[in-house]
Amino acid sequence: MVLNDSDIQSIWLTVKLATCVTLILLLVGTPIAWWLARTRSRLKGVIGAVVALPLVLPPSVLGFYLLLAMGPGGPLGYLTGRLGIGALPFTFPGLVLGSVFYSLPFMVQPLQNAFESIGDRPLEVAATLGASRLDAFFSVALPLARPGFLTASILTFAHTVGEFGVVLMIGGNIPGVSRVASVQIYDHVEALEYAQAHRMAIVMLIFSFLVLLALYAWRPNGRTTKREG
């Protein structure tokens, strides 16, 4: 299976994008998930619905409104313009920002479930031993939620790799800047280059299978499955 330079470039850009989005969402999504898991606020339902919105919203709709928001007349575009950053649409940073919004539930929801499964008892024990809330979070909650972090990171990375509608709306189709693997496959099909599209699709298929294999082979207690006997 031989990939041309354009295919390899799009795969590298996809991996770069997915890595950046996963790292950013680990920082942004963790406090959101912790708050959703622990709060009793009436706003929990509203914030939870906002986080989950990309799961049901068509990618083209989300991409369209993000494009408007990041454009010169949008609030994000105005802010980046004032900061001297310039317009974000059709740039790699704009692609990252759009993907962060689109992949947010794939990071937050597994982490929220992991935090909720811990319960109150371990944190109460830590408090009786003199640990502050911050100490209890880092020394108790994070280690116990480690399997959730693994699942959330894998799902976020894989979901970002498979994006199409949002990245096409925000990033367009610029080689080396926004032409990720899914867009590259689309280009091959449009050009009737089915052999090249098939090679790229096989790479994506193998990657998706390995991601699912990693998830199903990992037990909730954080240990990989082993054959018995």
The boundaries of the domain holding residue 202 are 5-216
Mean pLDDT, to the nearest integer, of 49-77? Answer: 90
Judge residue 184's burial from the number of C-beta atoms within 10 Å of its C-beta, 0-12 exposed, 13-18 middle, 19 or more buried: buried
**Half-sphere exposure (Cβ direction) of 146: Cα atoms closer than 13 Å:** 10
Q: Tens digits of per-residue pLDDT, 112-137?
A: 999 999 888 888 888 888 888 888 88
For residue 221, is it within any domain? no
Residue 60 in tokens: 């083209």
The pTM score is: 0.86
Contact between 106 and 28 (Cβ < 8 Å): no
Query: Is 77 inside any structural domain?
Result: yes
Structure tokens at 209: 């299978």
Q: Is residue 48 part of a domain?
A: yes
**Does 165 or 33 have the greater pLDDT score?**
33
Q: Is residue 224 part of a domain?
A: no
The answer to the question of residue 222 being in a domain is no
Number of domains in the chain: 1
Q: What is the CATH number of the domain that holds 173?
A: 1.10.3720.10
Give the pLDDT band (50/70/90) at residue 224.
very low
Q: Give the pLDDT band (50/70/90) at residue 138.
A: confident
